[in-house]
């Protein structure tokens, strides 16, 4: 066990809550409900595997974030991935192959990982990897997509394999979304949402929360508008500043307390939807759940990282297993030196303390 806080119990309950909420959200949709019932069984089995491992002194997180490509077709203002050179226009060199990702998905399932969040870049640029993910029905794959490349081929894949769940990025109304993501993106995104709904499928939305859009995206009008489009889940992600000039866009502590109250209100008033706040929901866990406490990240080239916002790695899953990556010196240091429980003035603990993480990598701490 890591520290005195029972992170396994917290994350297991979180998985149970997400599955239960999803079952409520898909009530009335027989195909979707049938999949969620099947997945609930798979998630329960995975939870038992994690509990068994915990008793044997091995902590397995229920979540994995997989950035399957560094390629993206948009140039969003303030994009962390582009600022960090983890994302670009062309095909990234030396990316993991679809066969390598398939091996990772297989091992993750065997360990008891229930959710693999597919990210990028734009993950739908990797049709080959999407087909591999589809072949693992015991794992739910939320796909964090900008929504602009969803076509009939993808609609068919999502319909045939309900474990692929599109999570479409939106920033607010047309003006707010297009200002950050590019002219015309809002219309493309909402058109994709309408097509998914018309096909009898569900989807979620991902919202980057800044000081400029927070009042809008937590409003009942925004939430009900997404619900009418067929959205069943909203994931709120606090903006991480990429420069000192953009720091004013990151919510401060009073604003984060306000957002906590709004999340509670939305969950109470909208029982047919799932609401997740990151990193806001981590506060009740006793700190950041990266570096294997609740999840970890594998980048497009195989580097095992604590979190997408902390792109540091001392091992590569091309050369080792997921199990060994979770035991890496970096993850061990982060979990034992108290850095993940640090309180600070920003949303992301590891980003705020990146200089200390760099010292660990350099062997200075």
Radius of gyration of the chain, Cα coordinates, nearest whole angstrom: 19
Q: Is residue 1 part of a domain?
A: no
CATH number at residue 21: 3.20.20.70
- Per-residue model confidence (pLDDT) at position 358: 78
Distances (CA, A) of 202 to 28, 35, 135, 273, 342: 12, 12, 19, 11, 37
- Per-residue model confidence (pLDDT) at position 262: 95
Q: Is residue 82 part of a domain?
A: yes
CA distance 254 to 251: 8
> Would you say the C-alpha torsion 228, 231, 235, 237 has a positive or negative sign?
negative
Tens digits of pLDDT across the chain (365 residues): 344 444 445 455 656 666 777 777 777 788 888 888 899 899 999 999 999 999 999 999 999 999 999 999 888 877 767 766 666 666 667 899 999 999 999 999 999 999 999 999 999 999 999 999 999 999 999 999 999 999 999 999 999 999 999 999 999 999 999 999 999 999 999 999 999 999 989 899 999 999 999 999 999 999 999 999 999 989 999 887 766 777 888 888 899 889 989 999 998 998 888 888 887 666 555 667 777 888 899 999 999 999 887 888 999 999 999 999 999 999 888 888 877 765 554 456 777 777 788 788 877 65
CA distance 265 to 30: 29
- Per-residue model confidence (pLDDT) at position 28: 79
CA angle 332-333-337, nearest 5°? 125
CA angle 245-179-203, nearest 5°? 110
Q: Is residue 77 part of a domain?
A: yes
Q: Is residue 351 part of a domain?
A: yes
CA distance 236 to 244: 22
Whose tokens are 């939870």? That residue is 47
- Per-residue model confidence (pLDDT) at position 92: 67
Stated as kind and residue range, the H or E segment containing 15 is helix 7-25
pTM of the model: 0.89
Q: Is residue 183 part of a domain?
A: yes
What's the structural domain count of the chain?
1
Specify whether the CB–CB gap between 133 and 179 falls below 8 A: no
List residues bridging with 206 in a β-sheet: 169, 235
Domain limits at 145?
7-361
């Amino acid at each position: 066990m890591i520290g005195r806080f029972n992170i396994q119990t917290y994350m297991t309950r979180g998985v149970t809550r997400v599955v239960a909420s999803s079952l409520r959200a898909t009530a009335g949709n027989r195909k979707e409900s049938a999949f969620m019932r099947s997945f609930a069984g798979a998630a329960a089995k995975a939870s038992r595997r994690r509990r068994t491992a915990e008793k044997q002194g091995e902590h397995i997180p229920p979540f994995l974030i997989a950035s399957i490509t560094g390629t993206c077709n948009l140039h969003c203002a303030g994009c962390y991935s582009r600022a960090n050179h983890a994302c670009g226009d062309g095909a990234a060199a030396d990316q993991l192959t679809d066969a390598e990702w398939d091996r990772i998905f297989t091992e993750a399932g065997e360990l008891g990982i229930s959710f693999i969040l597919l990210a990028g870049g734009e993950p739908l640029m990797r049709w080959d990897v999407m087909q591999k993910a589809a072949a693992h029905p015991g794992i739910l794959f939320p796909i964090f997509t900008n929504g602009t490349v969803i076509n009939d081929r993808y609609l068919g894949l999502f319909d045939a394999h309900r474990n692929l769940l599109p999570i479409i990025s939106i920033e607010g109304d047309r003006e707010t979304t297009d200002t950050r993501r590019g002219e015309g993106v809002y219309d493309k995104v909402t058109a994709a949402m309408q097509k998914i709904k018309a096909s009898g499928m569900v989807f979620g939305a991902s919202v980057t929360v800044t000081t400029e859009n927070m009042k809008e995206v937590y409003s009942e009008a925004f939430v009900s508008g997404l619900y009418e489009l067929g959205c069943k889940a909203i994931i709120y992600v606090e903006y991480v500043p990429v420069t000192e000039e953009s720091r004013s866009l990151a919510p401060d502590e009073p604003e984060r307390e306000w957002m906590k109250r709004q999340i509670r209100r939305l969950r109470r008033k909208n029982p047919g939807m799932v609401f997740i706040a990151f990193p806001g929901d981590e506060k009740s866990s006793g700190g950041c759940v990266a570096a294997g406490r609740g999840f970890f990240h594998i980048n497009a080239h195989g580097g095992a990282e604590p979190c997408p916002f902390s792109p540091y790695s001392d091992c590569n899953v091309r050369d080792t297993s997921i199990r060994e990556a979770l035991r890496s010196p970096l993850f061990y240091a982060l979990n034992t030196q108290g850095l993940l429980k640090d309180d600070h003035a920003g949303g992301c603990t590891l980003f705020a303390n990146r200089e200390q993480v760099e010292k660990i990598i350099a062997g200075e701490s």
